Structure 1
């Protein structure tokens, strides 16, 4: 089986490059289509970066791979939860309390702080209920949910695999 022949470090490198690539793709899409990311979008971007860094640490320090994989899986599940909430908000905008219309949540405060430090990467200017980009009938939040779920599954599969 190919899975057993690929070194653990290669799996971590692939995950890291994939996450950093997703952030780069999202930023290019944002610039090309003049999209306005919302606080939840920016938080998901931050989680992709966190997962990318954790996977990079797994590449550098593979002996601690269970720790990195548990942290990756936890971050991915958090991301899937945020993406699912945003997907719900987009599906039922009349029922959702829009980001920015109530007292700021911890997530919104974190995104605001990061947006002041690195506006090109973390500035939130959009609304969580808007679907500015749709591909194959799914919004970016919907796609993000599936990607985060895939990352969590990837981490669990790697965690359950016995490495020599």
Structure 2
């Protein structure tokens, strides 16, 4: 039984929105320290993914276009989560975010924090490991979730109409 294109995009939108929301709620419920730049960037990428998926619901005829944007967005999230995981496991080999001239992603996160501080304000450190579940940090879980979203976007891209 084929999955309707709009339904597939709606599922992707719901999942990515739930992931962004759960990151905020988990931090609040578990009383975790404030998020770092890369944590905030990953939240933002989940929301951008959600936006592209909603666009796919509204305009399903451009399925391939939306799927390419979804895959690229998930790949960016995968890179951000991978970089943070590297920073957590080798903190002595990296320079902490926020030191020196801010990179483009740091400027974006700082701008988002100025617009909506309750969701995007950065005060934590990227090398800090605060919480583990089944032996994986939040950054490690983000890698798995972004990989799943990337594979799902590719599946929707190649599914029959």
Pairwise TM-score range, normalised by the shorter structure: over 0.9
1:77 to 2:75 alignment:
yes
C-alpha distance in structure 1 between counterparts of 2:31 and 2:109, whole Å = 19
Counterpart residue number, 2:36: 38
The runs of at least 4 aligned residues of structure 1 exceeding 2 Å deviation read none
Alignment equivalent of 1:126, drawn from 120, 124, 127: 124
Per-residue CA deviations over 1:101-152 (Å, capped at 9, x if unaligned) read 2221111111011101100111111000111111101000000011111111
Give me the TM-score of the superposition, normalised by structure 2. 0.96
Deviates more, 1:52-61 or 1:28-37: 28-37
Deviates more, 1:56-65 or 1:31-40: 31-40
- Runs of 5+ consecutive residues of structure 1 not aligned to the other structure: none
How many matched pairs? 160
Give me the TM-score of the superposition, normalised by structure 1. 0.94
Counterpart residue number, 1:16: 13
- Please give the residue correspondences for 1:1-164 in structure 2 after superposition, counting only pairs within 5 Å: 2=1, 4=2, 6-35=3-32, 36-163=34-161
- Runs of 5+ consecutive residues of structure 2 not aligned to the other structure: none
How much is the aligned-residue C-alpha RMSD, in angstroms? 0.9
